[in-house]
Structure 1
């Protein structure tokens, strides 16, 4: 492999990892921010309140977008093996 091919594989792997992690991370960050604003307004300072909504949100995201995530990772893996073999 040339240096450009290695850099291309690294760039595409970072892009795939970002595409797969972004929905979960962004939505859990948004729900955490919303809950922290509610906690600040109501002065309830319980740390475990954010855990359950984030857990349900992540499970919902994985149910809705799990097939897309699996297909994206499968396509990337096939491309990597195709590059190794040919």
Structure 2
């Protein structure tokens, strides 16, 4: 296996990880920001008020994007398996 092939595989894997994590985390971060602004404006310091909406949005994102995320992971895995002959020889 050449170093270039290894670097390309690692680059693709890291990009896939960034895309998957971003798809799940960004909606929760946005809702957390909205709730934090609301809490700062109203001086309400309830922990469940910031945690529960983020949890629900993250679960909703996972349920809506789950099929797409699994498809992306399966495509990556298929590409890795199909590229084994060219990487080895």
Tell me if TM exceeds 0.5: yes
Q: Which stretch shifts more, 45-54 or 64-73? A: 45-54
CA distance in 1, matches of 2:6, 2:57: 36
Deviation string for 1:10-65 (max 9, x for gaps)? 10001101111112111111111100000000100112211111111111111111
CA distance in 2, matches of 1:25, 1:85: 36
TM-score normalised by L of structure 2:
0.89
Over the aligned positions, Cα root-mean-square deviation in angstroms equals: 1.2
- Please give the TM-score of this superposition, normalised by the length of structure 1: 0.92
How far does residue 83 in structure 1 lie from its aligned partner after superposition? 2.2
- Please name the residue that 1:80 is paired with: 80
Q: Number of matched residues?
A: 86
SS at match of 1:45: coil
Report the Cα distance in structure 2 between the residues aligned to 1:78 and 1:6, rounded to whole angstroms.
Answer: 16
Structure 2 gaps of 5+ residues are none
The 10-residue stretch of structure 1 (35-44 or 49-58) with the greater mean CA deviation from structure 2 = 49-58
Quote the Cα distance in structure 1 between the aligned partners of 2:85 and 2:65: 30
* Runs of 4 or more above 3 Å deviation: none
